Chain A
Amino acid sequence: MGGNQDISEALQADVVQAAESGQQLCLQGGRSKDFYGRELIGEPFDLNQHRGIVDYEPTELVITARGGTPLTEIEAALTAQHQMLPFEPPHFTEASTIGGAIASGLSGPRRPWFGAPRDLLLGIKLLDGRGQILNFGGQVMKNVAGYDLSRLMAGSLGTLGILLEVSIKVLPLPPQETTLLFEADTENAHAITQRMCLDATPISGSCHMDGQLHIRLECDETRVLQLRNRFGGELVEDAEIFWRALRDQQFAFFQTDVPLWRLSMPPAADFQLPGKQLIEWGGALRWFKGDHSMEAIRSAVSATGGHAILFLNGDRSGEIFHPLNPTIALLHQRLKKVFDPKFIFNPGRLYPE
């Protein structure tokens, strides 16, 4: 375990060979996300030995690391400099890697206010399906030279190529964090969150579940006092544990064998389908369990302008991700061919090919 090693040449040789023989590869970082996406197909292809922080200068607000670097290692390096990964990536196991976190594109409670992997990814070194090593973007904050192919990789679930290196924008840790707890039904919870957002309150997390609303704030005591005078709310001790458990889906709500849906929609959307909901991101992210057909859920979410992912359980060979409009689906196929002409990487993980 541990260490800092560059095995890009070996990975490259393997990919070249796979492309020649047509061997399909199932890219694996820490494998903490095997449950996510469509079923796994292909020869397991281990990326977590290609690891280590390549460059980190706190005043540049950028960290560059190899894809197989464990998130814990990156977070430890950042914490030592009072900085953080702003998208607050979920990681259940010690094994979760930065490559996997970017490739899955998932973010934690901070997302609406600080961005997702796609917002913070500045540059990549990519191993494509021909075995070419390519550089896109860079380590600077602003870069519009050429198409933004780095951000395109965020959330692509390894279907376009292997992230050998990623450069990510980082931010200072907030000096203070406070969590307030409100007893509130869905409607009230929404009203409180929305009012706070419109008042430019420095929120960095919201969670509504079982009649309780937690709001995480990044401001000093004076501001917290003003907010409590206005909205009420109890101070929560040791709130870090709560937010970490939410980020890593440790709550009983998530321990389930029924289909768990991840619904993404406008924060104020009026979503009335009966079922159990856990609402994050000021309303923009809703975890949903309910006895409805896939079509019923998808059409209710589509009506709000959002989309639905069958996140956990259910039929993993079916339509896990929201179906695409035919023109967009065609663009997906063409882009897949650009990066992976032999279709060797993670076949069908995102959509059937």
Chain B
Amino acid sequence: MQGQSDNNSLRRQQQRRILADAFLKMLPADAVIFREEELVPYECDGLSAYRQVPLIVLLPYDTGQVQAILRYCHTNKIPVVARGAGTGLSGGALPHEDGVLLSLARLNKILEVDQSNMRARVQPGVRNMAISDAARSQGLYYAPDPSSQIACSIGGNVAENAGGVHCLKYGLTVNNLLEVTLITIEGERITLGGGGLDSPGLDLLALMTGSEGMLGVVVEVLVKLLPIPTKAQVILATFDEVEAAGNAVAAIIANGIIPAGLELMDNLSLRAAEAFIHAGYPVEAAAILLCELDGSEEEVAVSVKFVCSILKQSGASEVRISKDDTERQRFWAGRKAAFPAVGRISPDYYCMDGTIPRKQLAMVLKKIAEMSQRYDLRCANVFHAGDGNLHPLILYDANIPGELEKAEKFGGEILELCVAVGGTITGEHGVGLEKINQMCAQFPDAELEIFHAVKAAFDPHNLLNPGKAIPTLSRCAEFGAMHVHAGQLRFPELERF
């Protein structure tokens, strides 16, 4: 055993040396990182339970360098993992043991904010928030707002089809892109989409969005910008029962209202957020709903009144309306900091991302509470309620032997429940490496084979982020054998879809 791993590490050292020499010939010296201690910061993304030191990290300055890197990797059959800001929560940017980690962090320029066409052209390493910051003076903003928006990159957003609290009304990343330029594994530069609202041929822009760095490397993005609404207000509604909060969501939508944002937090998560941010949340509440309405002064006044009455009818014990923009921001700050806030009350947490039909909310939350007891692990719930996108945060301590495994099993069970009620294992965080087994629960072999064939159409040698997002059929066979296919045996009491 010992001898084998020594051999392996020797082999890696040699390979690292070869790659470093090769890349130093085509890139500036500070774009090639190959010393072990400098590689460590890249060993994981936002899902720190999975770690792998890459063979080498490359930090190109421009598109030409990205092309050169990919051409070399293609010719020499070296795996490549693209990395934006590394905030991903599914291990998507986890390095490959024998591969290049390609960081796009230095392609970080906003190339143009075009007011008259309401769009911005940016490089992939630009932070999500930086786009809205740059557009603000022209009265515009970029709508998709993941809670990680101060850190995550637009390239990573495209790769994950990121969402945010305002996606209910304004759409996901895929609905807010006009054009993406990418470099194929062969090093070819192609542009998908275009300056108009559609483009000729098949919609490869849609296919690329959410493809987790498996089909190409994004080097430029043309995003849509929206006008900043004249007025926005948040209603904070308190509920003594989670179920009532869930029903209030359906009632708002049944009344023909699509709020700009509609978020639910349960007691554990709102307490954690309150302790961290002091947003003014009612810590005794079983759940709160945050509902944002926007438009003109008059429109917002009318709809706020209407929604407040719906919320009260649905059993809200208290309804507060943000007085000004500072208070509105504060109400959101608690929600947006929910993950780190939960991180403060537990040594580790594991964030899930299932989506369910909204009508299943109360039932799913009840089942999660039961699982939480069974696994003896606490679970906080934050929920993009309007979209049915659930983020259960499982609290655990990685220093206690066996707890991580327990948390993962708990999480896996939640995701399989989401599938069983007609939902999906991931709404916005992606499959990455983390949810690769649950993909077997969601998709039969025939669909998985099509996914592999689509991948091969772009990347015949399977060099771009290999091993992520789509499980091999043999992996699913193994997973199925030890696990039993979720749709068949788990939750037999549920109505099937």
Interface residues of A (CB under 8 A from B): 57-61, 82, 105, 111-112, 115-116, 118-119, 128, 132, 134-136, 138-149, 151-152, 154-156, 160, 171-173, 175, 194, 197-200, 202, 219-220, 222-223, 226, 263-269, 281, 284-285, 304-307, 309, 321-325, 327-328, 331-332, 334-335, 337-339, 350-351
Contacts and interface: CB of A to CB of B under 8 A. Distances in A.
B443 to A, nearest CB: 6
A223 B298 CA distance: 8
A142 B389 contact: yes
Given A142-B172, A202-B295, A266-B117, A281 B197 contact: yes
Contact of A200 (B117, B119, B227, B302): B227
Contact of A220 (B194, B299, B359, B423): B299
Contacts of B422: 138-140
A111 B197 contact: yes
Nearest to A321: B200
A327 B190 contact: yes
A146 B197 contact: no
B175 A115 contact: yes
A197 B229 CA distance: 11
A289 to B, nearest CB: 19
A143 B355 contact: yes
B489 interface: no
B195 A328 contact: no
A335 B450 contact: no
A61 B254 CA distance: 9
Contacts of A321: 200-201
A23 to B, nearest CB: 23
Given A118-B206, A140-B424, A149 B227 contact: no
A145 B295 contact: no
Interface string B334-366: 000000000000000000000111110000000
Interface string B252-269: 011011100000000000
A328 B457 contact: no
Nearest to B425: A145
B73 interface: no
A141 B174 contact: no
Contacts of A223: 296, 298-299
A59 B358 contact: yes
B161 interface: yes
Interface in B104-121: 115-119
A147 B207 contact: yes
A345 to B, nearest CB: 13
A112 B254 CA distance: 25
A138 B443 CA distance: 11
B206 A219 contact: no
A335 B430 CA distance: 23
Contact of B195 (A154, A266, A332): A266
Contacts of B470: 146-147
B424 A145 contact: yes
Given A148-B209, A149-B207, A306-B196, 5 more contacts: A138-B423, A144-B430, A151-B207, A173-B256, A194-B116
Interface string B50-86: 0000000000000000000000000000000000000
A198 B258 contact: no
Nearest to B431: A145
Nearest to A190: B116
A135 B454 CA distance: 15
Question: What class of interface size applies to chain B in its complex with A?
Answer: 35 or more
B194 A148 contact: no
A14 B387 CA distance: 38
Interface of B: 115-119, 139-140, 160-161, 163, 167-168, 171-172, 174-175, 179, 184, 188, 190-192, 194-204, 206-207, 209-211, 214-215, 226-230, 250, 253-254, 256-258, 295-296, 298-299, 302, 355-359, 384, 386-389, 422-431, 435, 439, 442-443, 446-447, 450-451, 453-458, 469-470
A46 B320 CA distance: 56
A200 B209 CA distance: 27
Given A145-B426, A307-B194, A351-B201, A338 B296 contact: no
Between A144, A284, A322, the greatest number of chain B beta carbons within 10 A of the residue's beta carbon is seen for: A144
Contacts of B423: 138, 140
B485 to A, nearest CB: 15
A266 B447 contact: no
Nearest to A61: B253
A118 B422 CA distance: 21
- Report the 7 A-B pairs with minimum CB-CB distance, sorted nearest first: A305-B195, A264-B196, A151-B206, A142-B427, A172-B256, A334-B457, A200-B227
Nearest to A325: B190
A132 B448 CA distance: 13
A237 to B, nearest CB: 24
B457 A307 contact: no
Contacts of B386: 141
12 contacts: A115-B171, A119-B171, A140-B427, A143-B426, A144-B427, A145-B442, A154-B206, A155-B198, A264-B199, A265-B196, A266-B117, A323-B200
Given A172-B257, A220-B298, A268-B116, A284 B196 contact: yes
Contacts of B171: 115, 119
Contacts of B456: 334
B446 A134 contact: yes
A320 to B, nearest CB: 10
Nearest to B210: A144
B116 to A, nearest CB: 4
B198 A112 contact: no
Contacts of A309: 200
A146 B451 contact: yes
Contact of B161 (A115, A136, A144, A304): A144
A172 B258 contact: yes
B450 A140 contact: no
Contacts of B387: 140-142
Given A119-B171, A194-B116, A321-B200, A200 B250 contact: no
Nearest to B200: A322
A45 B368 CA distance: 48
Contacts of B446: 132, 134
Contact of A142 (B253, B355, B453): B355
Contacts of B161: 144, 148
A319 B190 CA distance: 21
A309 B426 CA distance: 37
A264 B198 contact: yes
A322 B457 CA distance: 22
Nearest to A130: B446
Given A147-B207, A200-B228, A264-B196, A134 B447 contact: yes
A197 B227 contact: yes
B63 to A, nearest CB: 15
Nearest to A305: B195
Contacts of A154: 203, 206
A140 B214 CA distance: 24
